[in-house]
Amino acid sequence: MNNYKVDFSGSVTSPKGFKASGVTAGLKKSGNADMALVYSEEPCAFGAAFTSCTFAAAPVQVSRRHAAEGEVLRAMIINSGNANACTGAKGLANAEKMCELTAAELGIPSGEVVVASTGRIGVQMPMEIIGRGIKLAVSELSSDGGVAAAKSIMTTDTVEKHLSLEVELSGGRVTIGAMTKGVGMIDPYLKTVPHATMICVVTTDCGLTNGELSDMVCECTGESFNRITVDGDMSTNDTVIVLANGASGVKVTNASDAEKFKSALKLAMQELARKMVMDGEGATKFVEIKVVNASSEAAARLCAEAVANSLLCKTAWFGCDPNWGRIVAALGYSGAEFDPGKVNVFYNEYPVVRDGGDAGTPESELAKVLKNREFRVTVELNNGDSDYWVWTSDISYEYVKINAEYHT
């Protein structure tokens, strides 16, 4: 097993050859930073994944096309404060224009730029502000700009989310850097090219091919961002971009290298996914739902996601109420087939349901578990050998307040 040390002070500029910036263009009434640029001095191989929401935002559509048609990428421009979603032909033109303006300032083809946006849906992008912001973002590019970039993509996030880690391959050491945002409207189901609101940028100075990265992104998002939910709502703008510029001079040359790098990439994505749930809008609990001994992974997933997205379960957890009836009800409507008489449920190591009924553990003991910041719900279906896990949060008064008053 590989042991990677994650550096939470690291960022997208930790790998060699990457620069970034985070600036205030003027999109947010708060005056907070609202535009980020990530740029590689060398062309990058890439992997990408985007929301599967039918109402995919304009920047998703443009970036998806650039990723499908291009061989390399060099830059990603990101704004917060406006999602540019449900904005029609004008919105698409504006998203494309963001790539063109960025490319012109950097002196590269516009097809080598991808774009992401987050914020309010249904509002046209103020392109005069955007144009000034892009000029500023390019002028502020720095090899130390990764943390500023992570701060500038935040919306209702309370903390910036970024990290780096190093991987020792057969040819030497490579670095992975990453940042993400997203704490509400989080229930991503990302599809990879060509096959959350969360936006994630991963950079690495490792040498990889597009094919290698696409396969890795598919697997790693499936075991990270696609396993989290805060409120069960998929965004129109979910985007993951992984850029590999090879600036370290070290390439993935064999199966062992590929497995090591993939394992590190997965860890980076999982750590960021975990941070997203921990910082979920108004969240006070981090809950792992683990369904085991299911007839299939699909059945286990149905059960895990039903419990993770149940408002009754989530509000009970907020109130430290070990009301297991809500868990079994969610299992029952999940659509999975199982024998209720064989089901066991646990809060951490404490049994709450045994063979479909009350396990007899005192509620006072169970309430102690739910007072923790983190705990686990384990469901044993006992009709197979498949399993699935999901990370979720509770729903608090603060979540309702944030979303009742939301206006970027």
Segment holding 114, helix H or strand E = strand 113-118
d(CA 68, CA 173): 30
d(CA 49, CA 37): 19
Tell me how far apart the 2 most distant CA atoms of the chain are, in Å.
69
Q: At 143, list the tokens.
A: 């090899």
d(CA 150, CA 161): 6
Contact 190, 212 (CB under 8 A): no
The burial of 72, by beta-carbon neighbours within 10 Å (0-12 exposed, 13-18 middle, 19 or more buried), is given as middle
Q: State the pairing for strand pair 73-80/113-118.
A: parallel
d(CA 297, CA 302): 9
Nearest to 286 by CA among 181, 165, 389: 389
Cβ-count burial 84-95 (b if 16+ within 10 Å, e if not): bbebeeebbbbb
CB contact set of 368 (below 8 Å; sequence gap of 6+)? none
Residue 212 main-chain phi, psi, to 5 deg:
-60, -45
d(CA 56, CA 50): 9
What is the four-CA torsion angle of 139, 34, 225, 192, rounded to 10 degrees?
A: -60
Q: Is 355 left (phi over 0), alpha (psi -120 to 50) or beta?
A: left
Contact 285, 394 (CB under 8 A): yes
Segment holding 106, helix H or strand E = helix 88-106
Catalytic pick from 197, 236, 239, 408? 197
Q: At 7, list the tokens.
A: 């550096």
Q: At 70, list the tokens.
A: 């291009």
Report the residue count for the chain: 408
Whether 24 is catalytic: no
21: helix, strand or coil: strand
Where in the sequence numbering do the catalytic residues fall?
Answer: 197
